[in-house]
Structure 1
């Protein structure tokens, strides 16, 4: 019986428990091993590592960050096939990392965490698994990410639809789309990738667009054999490509927070792309956003707009009134009958650790602490929840660069906290409420000066309008802030001295 067997026994207690095995969880595990820490487990609710790159297998799934940058700095892959890697290639990379760094003996798949509570006296997290098993950990690391729980639209009658329906992140590859009439709800990052792939296959495609996204050309191409040979034999060339890409993308933060003329340049690129791709002026008008550029995710595609000009594709902008057994009725009273309904409606990104029930000091639940919107100190730690660290936590998402860079910064910070716990013989570290409050007050003031403060709805914001997802600034600023913990910002609780031995 191996650790990957769903019935394999969990250890009773470990030093570190990591929830999730996407980029964040694997990075944390690899770095633990680099520092000599072997007493940890990777808890994965699915059958394999990979996170969102395991789940999102829809046609055309690919990354919108260049492959040389969308990989670990300590495991640079020199043979990416394209400038922007596909889902299949990224998942293979993550599997490779899990194997190369010996993580599978720490991995427990089909192991869904339902909750955890902190035992303050013992300084331990007691973690509950869906099948009734439990384990204890000194440190709990959540690497669940922000894009792991599909969001389904709340439409009257949706449960009565008799055709096939599924979310893009749960693509049904066994359902043949050929010759079918298909409705797609949503025009976000997933839809712009799979719509061009399925449009030539279906009989009719109705694309329901609530608001038009900004779509820019994607500078994608295959790497030639000569380039790959150069990257392989001269690793410095691949490193140079990585850093050039980093600074090129880092400058794009000015679109969100810089002067208007910077975003104006990008907006002109968008209009040129739209005009070249869509000859019909009426359709161009339909596909022209009304929000300022950047307030929602800016998307990249070369084939999305051409797909919408196909005679079997109709872009529907009227709101959906209800779903019937055989189709959808829009607010103008028109019903369109369809065989299948595909939800390209994104994820419950602002819910973070939900539906897990996390209980900290004094019996306080994380959902209660976050009732007005999730927040954390440096996006990593939450007051009242000691020794809990969040990778890709609140306000650490990016609109301009690679999240892998942010994850490596966060992992370095967690390792520094682990060293402090060990070297100072601490029971736990708990960020002070005022430190968390001051950090988030500064962060929200920065967000108010950005384009994300514009009056547009996006997955970056809660229903109440609070931006809980994005980092407002340069990633190198974040890396500098996460060099290591400032103990003045934490309550450091020591392990009690044995009976009969005073502290001096």
Structure 2
């Protein structure tokens, strides 16, 4: 736990960043490196780390190789495994915060409740949970899409007398030993913690709505000799990082370019189930009926073996009702339990709640997204001047490292700030026509991707509009190319002290997702 280096009370800064995960911390480091010191980072938790701080359930680890799931400017030669566990990733981000001198800019235990654009003053008025108002010329959201836990609508859950918690809020003080536990959900978190708790509990009832496709996890310990090589010959680690990137990037062909290729990759997942699950009835329950890739592809070597143990039952009939000490499925079978653990993921398609961000004329950001979140290059939204997103809409990935996408957006926002300085701009705001054309092209490409044609219903898709508002439909190098430089022609630029706009009067409406 850090001491909060910043004093309590109102602050005035040029730039305010919300969140200190990979996005917010990376943006802060970039500002510091560019010579910008007038910024603050608001963090609702007691330290840096974002999702890698608040998610600490048993078995929590990354599903992207460690050497790629890190900042390009700060390689870590001391990773213990090919896929880093949560404590190491959290420690890595804490190290970066210290090394690059951003700790004095952080305000921990400061939750932001609202942010309002003040047109007359050309700044954002930001109110924290204590009612203290802060101001900033530019507001950058590094909150991420996987920060708000999602809970299913389970009838009667309020009557349950046992223990309940979400995987993100794991209660380590509650001893699961010899308890009867119900796990609801079979997503990325559940397949990591289920094998960890299965040997401890008396019984584990796993309520599965839709099974995930799971492939083997090529994980292993990194040897002491390898760590020595990485420390003394850093170009070796750089080469390994590049090789991992190239290998993962090739998978975009099956996800976005030619989804039929995924049928071939699916053979590996089918063989994985056959090897690890001998019981044909259980195997049938665990085999998805959609094409691999339509939902998030997961990696694990111990999930299937855990489900074959005698104290585990996989239940696919759904939950009809929760009572004081039991769950009743839709077949009418009642099972007594001592605890319910939700492994139901996050609200990725609704990342910003209503009543938090207000743009020009007091318009709520949620009202600007009637068909679900959208932005220009995942970074800017029309009607919300001087507001930028890192890991914004349609920047998520199904095939490669999100840190690569984060660094691409950081470069784009940093260049925007540089241009605002150079031209002495009061505000920048993406033109609605540019945002509309960009997203029309994105959605056109997404309609041909595996997430649309794979035959599933996933959390990538907004429940009302049916639009995929989460993922990037292509190669990550295409996104890197599109965000390498800030493109002022797509924006309305207002100079300080003048009411008229600079830039082109008719912003470009070219369809340019990449």
Task: Give the TM-score of the pair, scaled to structure 1.
Answer: 0.97
Report the alpha carbon displacement of residue 32 of structure 1 after superposing the two structures with TM. Answer: 0.2
Q: How does 1:403-482 map to 2 (within 5 A)?
A: 403-454=402-453, 455-464=455-464, 465-482=466-483
Aligned to 2:49: 50
Aligned to 1:489: 490
Aligned to 2:508: none
Deviations 1:88-119 (A, max 9, x none): 10000011111111111101011011111111
Report the alpha carbon displacement of residue 332 of structure 1 after superposing the two structures with TM. Answer: 0.6
Report the alpha carbon displacement of residue 319 of structure 1 after superposing the two structures with TM. Answer: 1.1
Asked if 1:205 is matched to 2:195, the reply is no
Evaluate the alpha carbon distance shift between residue 160 and residue 83 of structure 1 in structure 2; reply closer, same or farther with a 3 A threshold: same
Instruction: Indicate if the aligned counterparts of 2:2 and 2:47 stay in contact, CA closer than 8 A.
Output: no
Aligned mates of 2:485, 2:126 — CA distance in 1: 27
Deviations 1:144-196 (A, max 9, x none): 00111111111110011000010000000000001011000000000000000
Aligned to 1:223: 222
Aligned mates of 2:354, 2:237 — CA distance in 1: 41
Report the alpha carbon displacement of residue 474 of structure 1 after superposing the two structures with TM. Answer: 0.4
Asked if 1:124 is matched to 2:123, the reply is yes
Deviations 1:47-88 (A, max 9, x none): 111111101110000000000000000001011010000001
Report the alpha carbon displacement of residue 487 of structure 1 after superposing the two structures with TM. Answer: 1.4
Instruction: Indicate if the aligned counterparts of 2:5 and 2:106 stay in contact, CA closer than 8 A.
Output: no
Moved more, 145-154 or 64-73: 145-154
Moved more, 480-489 or 241-250: 480-489
Report the alpha carbon displacement of residue 127 of structure 1 after superposing the two structures with TM. Answer: 0.6
Aligned mates of 2:3, 2:24 — CA distance in 1: 16
Aligned mates of 1:267, 1:152 — CA distance in 2: 30
Number of residue pairs aligned between Structure 1 and Structure 2: 497
Report the alpha carbon displacement of residue 121 of structure 1 after superposing the two structures with TM. Answer: 2.1
Report the alpha carbon displacement of residue 260 of structure 1 after superposing the two structures with TM. Answer: 4.8
Aligned mates of 1:354, 1:60 — CA distance in 2: 30
Asked if 1:354 is matched to 2:325, the reply is no
Asked if 1:160 is matched to 2:130, the reply is no
Aligned mates of 1:357, 1:181 — CA distance in 2: 39
Aligned mates of 1:87, 1:134 — CA distance in 2: 34
Instruction: Indicate if the aligned counterparts of 1:64 and 1:84 stay in contact, CA closer than 8 A.
Output: yes
Aligned mates of 1:59, 1:351 — CA distance in 2: 27
Evaluate the alpha carbon distance shift between residue 160 and residue 3 of structure 1 in structure 2; reply closer, same or farther with a 3 A threshold: closer
Aligned mates of 2:458, 2:15 — CA distance in 1: 35
SS at structure 2 position matched to 1:470: coil
Deviations 1:468-492 (A, max 9, x none): 1000000000000001122111000
Instruction: Indicate if the aligned counterparts of 2:382 and 2:431 stay in contact, CA closer than 8 A.
Output: yes
Q: How does 1:159-198 map to 2 (within 5 A)?
A: 159-198=158-197
SS at structure 1 position matched to 2:349: helix
Report the alpha carbon displacement of residue 229 of structure 1 after superposing the two structures with TM. Answer: 0.7
Instruction: Indicate if the aligned counterparts of 1:6 and 1:110 stay in contact, CA closer than 8 A.
Output: no
Aligned mates of 1:442, 1:106 — CA distance in 2: 39
Report the alpha carbon displacement of residue 291 of structure 1 after superposing the two structures with TM. Answer: 1.3
Report the alpha carbon displacement of residue 259 of structure 1 after superposing the two structures with TM. Answer: 3.1
Aligned to 1:232: 231
SS at structure 2 position matched to 1:351: coil
Report the alpha carbon displacement of residue 451 of structure 1 after superposing the two structures with TM. Answer: 1.2
Aligned mates of 2:115, 2:127 — CA distance in 1: 6
Aligned mates of 1:488, 1:232 — CA distance in 2: 44
Aligned mates of 1:355, 1:121 — CA distance in 2: 24
Instruction: Indicate if the aligned counterparts of 1:126 and 1:137 stay in contact, CA closer than 8 A.
Output: yes
Deviations 1:325-350 (A, max 9, x none): 11111111111110000000001111
Aligned mates of 1:496, 1:318 — CA distance in 2: 64
Deviations 1:303-358 (A, max 9, x none): 00000000000000001111111111111111111000000000111112225511
Task: Give the TM-score of the pair, scaled to structure 2.
Answer: 0.95
Q: How does 1:94-173 map to 2 (within 5 A)?
A: 94-173=93-172
Unaligned runs of 5+ in 2: 500-514
Report the alpha carbon displacement of residue 30 of structure 1 after superposing the two structures with TM. Answer: 0.3
Aligned mates of 1:323, 1:7 — CA distance in 2: 46
Aligned to 1:337: 336
Aligned to 1:25: 24
